[in-house]
Each structure stands twice: as structure tokens, then as C-alpha cells.
Amino acid sequence: MNWQLSVSLRYLTSKRKEKFISLISIISILGVALGVAALIIVIGVMSGFDNDLKDKIIGTNSHIVVESDYGIAPSDDLLNTVTGTEHVMAASFYLSGQALIRRDDNVTGVMVRGIVPGREREVTKIASYITAGSLDFGQDGVVIGSELAQKLNLHVGDEVSMVSPAFVKGKAFKVYGIFTSGMYDYDANLVYLDLAKAQEFFASKDLATGIAVKVDDAFNVGAVKIGLQSQLGRIGSVRTWMDHNKNLLAALKLEKTVMFLILTLIVMVACFNIASTLIMTVLEKTKDIGILKAIGASSSDVMAVFAMQGGLIGFIGTALGTGMGVLLAWLLKTYQFVKLPKDIYYIDRLPVRLEMHDILIIVLSSLLISLVATIYPSYQASRLDPVEALRYE
């Protein structure tokens, strides 16, 4: 240990004549700790919300869709062309349309999606979301969301009537399954049908709305999109799940950035306390600084002593804050004691996802701000004239 660090530790831990300065040092440490802990928890929640929402979106929808306003004629050759594209793992035709669903006197609008059950299992996670019944449509079956089932008081085996332009008087269907995706909009508004029955229900002349595509990396869909577009030509437009949700994803990214900047101000305020602590320490240790310079310490040595003292305050506060933040985030993730209204936030719990690079950025930012706060008081201490410091001693 060099002597500058030894003196810094002694100044930080020794009992001072001015106990008020020691109190400010403690407040500075706690301020940095609280700021870092708040940053870790909030950024962890934002990352968790971001990841959970993306997982729900991808789980109910495919990674890429190929759609046409004029419809696409399903064929094995077209499906083979899609699945033969690099990075594509599976594909399935689907048909989408709007309808009214009726149960006794209760009527509500829904989005109907016709699928091929065997292939749909390969492109989305809908099969794993089934909480009652199964993804089996039988003769005239439907699979509905849990929120819609609750709204219409439906259970597996119950019958409902759905109205479309082709069936203005309604067509009877039987509930074969109920799913819960965790996304309120999907669970309250989505109804699944067999593709052939959906084509009949919407009188689509054996056409499909598009092709749902699953790739090997959901976050690297840009290159696959270009490949599919070149393979399919003008058959349909190719859009990724990011294209469909770009406004939401941009809002999430902006919100996370803004929250980081706002909460960093807490750390900056705490670091102003570090600066004030060092300024008062310099005033208290004027005699010591004079003696150090008189026995040969250079200005840079004196500056290092006080910079290290401020750096130690920042380091201790950052270490405490990191420990507190990680612990509280773990408790929040493990016990999920904060619940959210699903109809507002899409999800029913507060998600937490701690990412190492986020924690690293927070820790480095806190340490950097702490060190910057030491520059002025340390520089002022280094400029002190030993003759003036010892004149009245």
C-alpha cells in the first residue's frame, strides 16, 4: 500500500474534531448507495418488462409473416420455398379476420385466426399456453383466450356463435381449448380456428392471409427478411415481429434510457456531497497538508491523497448500492410481491431481469462521477502553500 492511500484511509476512518464532516461522509456513502441500488432495480425492472413483453409477443405471433392483401393460395411448393430459405426453421399458413362472438346476450368483437394446428406448434408457442382443453378443433371447434372466456363465462365444451360477413346469422362453434398467453390483448380478443373452417367461415375461396415463419434467432430477423423477399418476389410483403411492434419497442428503449439518465442524477447529487466533504476536510487538514509539503510531498501527491479519499467514498457507496440493488431485485423476482393490472400493462406481475452489462455500466458510471467530484477539492488542496498553512501553527 502506497503512503497516499494509507493517509486517505486514515483521514476517512479516523475520528475528526469536526464530527459534522464525518456525518457528511456517511451521508455521501449512503447517497451513492441508494442511487446505485435504485438504478439497478429500476433498470432491472425495465429490462425484465422489455424481455417479458418481447417473449409474449413472439410466443403468440411468429417471428416473420409473409402477407398479401389479395390472399395467398396455400401450396406445399410455396411452403418448401419458405422453409428452404437460410435460417428458417418452420412455416405455416394462416388466415386472419374479424368477427363477432356471441354467448347468450353477451356479444363482443374478436380477431379470428385460422391455423393448421400441427404446423402452428412449430412456429408459435400457442400450444404451450393452453390451460384447459387442447389445441384440437374437432368438427367445429375453437380455442379462445382466458380473458375472453371469463368475460363470456365460457368453459371447455360450451357452445358459442360467431358472426362474419359470410354468416350474418351466426355459426355455432364449440370451445375445445382455453389459452393464457399473459398478454391481455391477446387473451381477451383472439380466437383460433382450423384453417379450413376459417376459410369457410370468411368465404375466402381457399386463400390464406399469409405465411407465419419461425427463424433460428428471433433477434436477427433482418437478414432472413431480405432473403425471403428475394425468394418470394411479389407473392407478398415480408414483415418481422419488430416491424409490427416498432413503436412499442422504440418506446421501451427510450423509456429505459430516460430512466437511467434521471436516476443517475441521484448519484450525481450524492457525489456533490463527496465534493463538499473533501472541501471541508481540506480546511480541517490545512496543517497536515503544510507538514506533508514541508517534508517533500509534491502537489500531485497531495492531490492524490484527497482524490483517493473521495474515490473510496464513491467505491464503498457503489459496492453497498450494488449489493442492495442485486438483493432487492432478486427478492422482487423470486417472490413477485408486486402485481400489475393486466389490462393496462399487458402482464400481471412486475418482471425483473438483471443483465451484467447493465450492472457494469451503472457501477462504472457511479465510480466515474465519484472521481470527477474529487477533482476540484483535490486540486485546491494541492495548491496550498506550506508556509501559509503553518504560519499560525
* Residues 115 and 256 reside in one and the same domain: no
pLDDT per residue as tens digits for the range 115-151:
998 899 999 999 899 999 888 888 889 999 999 999 9
* CB distance 169 to 116 below 8 Å: no
Average pLDDT of every residue of the chain: 84
pLDDT per residue as tens digits for the range 63-79:
999 998 888 999 889 99
Q: To the nearest whole percent, how much of the chain has pLDDT over 90?
A: 31
pLDDT per residue as tens digits for the range 105-122:
888 999 999 999 889 999
Angle made by CA atoms 131, 134, 135, in degrees to the nearest 5: 115
Task: Write down which residue in 164, 198, 217 finishes a domain.
Answer: 217
Q: To the nearest whole percent, how much of the chain has pLDDT over 70?
A: 86
| Domain total in the chain | 2
Mean pLDDT of 184-210: 91
Nearest residue to 10 via CA among 384, 389, 306: 306
Nearest residue to 189 via CA among 342, 22, 384: 342
* Residues 8 and 98 reside in one and the same domain: no
Domain assignment present for 242: no
* Residues 183 and 272 reside in one and the same domain: no
Q: Please tell me the distance from the alpha carbon of residue 241 to that of residue 48, in angstroms, as a whole number.
A: 19
* Residues 95 and 193 reside in one and the same domain: yes
Split at pLDDT 50, 70, 90, the class of 181 is confident
* Residues 186 and 273 reside in one and the same domain: no
Question: Looking at residue 15, what DSSP letter applies?
Answer: P
Angle between helices 19-60 and 246-284 (to 10 degrees): 170
Confidence (pLDDT) at 12: 65
Confidence (pLDDT) at 308: 80
Nearest residue to 68 via CA among 207, 181, 161: 207
* Residues 68 and 20 reside in one and the same domain: no
Distances (CA, A) of 35 to 20, 171, 209, 253, 310: 22, 60, 51, 21, 17
* Residues 351 and 252 reside in one and the same domain: yes
Torsions phi, psi for 98 (to 5 deg): -100, 145
Angle between helices 3-13 and 299-335 (to 10 degrees): 60
Confidence (pLDDT) at 200: 92
* CB distance 320 to 29 below 8 Å: yes
Domain assignment present for 317: yes
pTM (global) more than 0.85: no
* Residues 165 and 201 reside in one and the same domain: yes
Q: Is the pLDDT at 339 greater than 80, yes or no? A: no
Pick the more confident residue, 290 or 318: 318
The pairing of strands 130-133 and 208-215 is unpaired
Q: Please tell me the distance from the alpha carbon of residue 143 to that of residue 44, in angstroms, as a whole number.
A: 35
Range with lowest mean pLDDT among 157-166, 271-280, 365-374: 271-280
Angle between helices 299-335 and 19-60 (to 10 degrees): 40
Angle between helices 299-335 and 246-284 (to 10 degrees): 140
* Residues 175 and 127 reside in one and the same domain: yes
Domain assignment present for 233: no
Range with lowest mean pLDDT among 64-68, 215-219, 370-374: 370-374
Mean pLDDT of 289-302: 69
Please give the residue range of the domain that contains residue 375: 3-57+248-390
* Residues 74 and 35 reside in one and the same domain: no
* Residues 31 and 72 reside in one and the same domain: no
Residue 385: count other Cβ atoms within 10 Å of its Cβ: 11
Mean pLDDT of 21-26: 71
Mean pLDDT of 188-192: 93
287 CB contacts (<8 Å, ≥6 apart)?
389, 390, 393
Pick the more confident residue, 16 or 324: 324
Confidence (pLDDT) at 384: 67
Q: Please tell me the distance from the alpha carbon of residue 331 to that of residue 344, in angstroms, as a whole number.
A: 24
Pick the more confident residue, 255 or 388: 255
Domain assignment present for 224: no
Domain assignment present for 239: no
Grid coordinates of 283: 480546511
Q: Is the pLDDT at 185 greater than 90, yes or no? A: no
Mean pLDDT of 25-45: 87
Q: Is the pLDDT at 387 greater than 60, yes or no? A: no
Q: Please tell me the distance from the alpha carbon of residue 323 to that of residue 285, in angstroms, as a whole number.
A: 33
Confidence (pLDDT) at 350: 79
Q: Is the pLDDT at 250 greater than 70, yes or no? A: yes
Domain assignment present for 264: yes
Q: Please tell me the distance from the alpha carbon of residue 103 to that of residue 168, in angstroms, as a whole number.
A: 15
* Residues 191 and 266 reside in one and the same domain: no
Domain assignment present for 232: no
Domain assignment present for 240: no
